Amino acid sequence: MRSLYLNGAWTGSSSDQALDVINPATEQVIDSVPAGDPADVDRAVAAAKAAFPSWSALSVAERRSYLERALELFRRRAEDVAATMAADMGAPLKFATKIQAGLPMVMFQTYLDLLDEVGERYFTGERVGESLVVREPVGVVGAITPWNYPLHQIVLKVIPALAAGNTVVLKPSEIAPLGAYALAEVFHDAGLPAGVFNLVSGTGPVVGEAIAAHPDVDMVSFTGSGRAGRRVSEVASATVKRVALELGGKSPNVILPDADLRHAVKRGVADVMRNTGQSCNALTRMLVHRDQYDEAVRTAAEAAAKHAPGDPLEEGTRMGPLVSKAQLDRVRDYIGIGVKEGARLVTGGAEPPEGREQGYYVQPTVFADVRNDMRIAQEEIFGPVLVLIPYDSEEEAVEIANDTVYGLNAAVWAGDRDHGLAVARRLRAGQVEVNGGDFNPRVPFGGYKQSGVGREWGIHGLDEFCEVKAVQLGA
């Protein structure tokens, strides 16, 4: 069994319980991590609190040099990290290399680049008349991260938090924790000062709640489900600490009548099937004008069939298994709910894919004749399930798109980009893609409504981990 990482050393847990790490493609146990307890959180927080004064007092350049060494080690180990991610959470090896290991390196480097650009002046302040407005680190940050992009989500919290001068206590998802351990090893080997970064594995109800409730944790940054996010907010409110939440989505993909329909539909299907549908920002509601609806349904079914599940280690596999048995049961249940609600199952279904009885595999699934008030159109399924909804006018499309408790992501496809932008401005979401706009690691990521509070990525992600102080200067 692995250990915890506390105060610069690998150490045993106060608990004697372990959590198995299961390869979702084989259902075999590949590792185990401690099921930490509140006493472990106390030790981690004490270490982070003790390390905070000296770490926050370093110059930006000094903190950056530690992080740069860590990134260099990360790059050297990228191939091993990708293989770990493929086994840990079932991502196809090519996807694991490019996204599950590659994207965290891109985001890591982006924060180093931002530090180069903003430098000390970002923290030492700007003059506003005869006053000075400065940024300072919040203090001890508790980071609670999910299993779907386990290392990416850790980097989005830990790196800007450390860059800003905070110290960190991390609780990774117990379902896919091995990426967190790889990063902890990188920090250790890079010589990060003791206590600056601490890792406590365990479950949300035990370790996560202990972090959120701890009086010496100054901020909690959480990514996960809406239910868990509400609980984090509730627990954290007792100590009135800062809370950042990146939660779920049921994102609309609005295809306007003058768009390239086949291209838009194929791109939309690929987006939903990415990471076996386990993406909070997946465009799972496809809105198509009624005149083009039948063609869109046919195209979506054809495109989905190209994402047949396979062994993550086999060449050419585009979609691996779901991450766990619990997630498999959830997705299959939702497919059954869709059928009971009267939606038309176009392709896929709840049965295991042919030849994939072992492993947590599910068929890529497309529903048509979906109303926006159905559960499969309103609730986050977190699997490779796409619903197609018809509309009769642009006004109705916008109304349907916004008719959700979520507001994380959206997309618009239009023949004219300016027209697409005009529609995008009417959508209540933190991100909107127009005609498949390129990924940009410097723009803010976060949601409206029940999709969250706060922003990650870019300079906004750095701001999230800073306090702002106004200094009134006298003579």
Hey, which residues are catalytic here? 246, 280
How far apart, in whole angstroms, are the C-alpha atoms of residue 243 and residue 219? 6
Alpha-carbon gap, residue 200 to 208, rounded angstroms:
9
Q: Are 309 and 360 in contact (CB under 8 A)?
A: no
357: CB partners within 8 A, 6+ apart: none
**What is the edge-to-edge ordering of all strands in the sheet holding 197-199?**
9-11, 4-6, 197-199, 167-171, 140-144, 219-223, 242-246, 452-453
390 three-state secondary structure: strand
Alpha-carbon distance 246 to 235, whole Å? 17
* Residue 107 CA to its chain's centroid (Å): 13
| Among the listed residues 214, 184, 208, the one whose alpha carbon sits nearest the alpha carbon of residue 49 | 214
Strands 131-137 and 466-472: antiparallel
Residue 406, CA atoms < 13 Å, CB-side half-sphere: 27
Q: What is the DSSP code (8-state) at residue 350?
A: S
Report the run of H or E that residue 12 belongs to, with start and end. none
Pairing of strands 285-289, 385-391: parallel
Q: Who contacts 218 (Cβ-Cβ below 8 Å, separation ≥6)? A: 138, 139, 140, 141, 166, 241, 242
Q: How far is CA 143 from CA 1, 312, 434, in A?
A: 23, 29, 32
Cα separation of 252 and 269, whole Å? 12
Name the one residue in this structure whose structure tokens are 């990063």: 183
Sheet containing strand 252-255, edge to edge, reads 344-347, 365-368, 385-391, 285-289, 252-255, 409-413, 431-434
Element (H, E) at 55: helix 38-57
Contact criterion met (CB below 8 Å) for 323 and 284: no
Closest CA to 290 of 181, 400, 381: 400
Contact 179, 205 (CB under 8 A): no
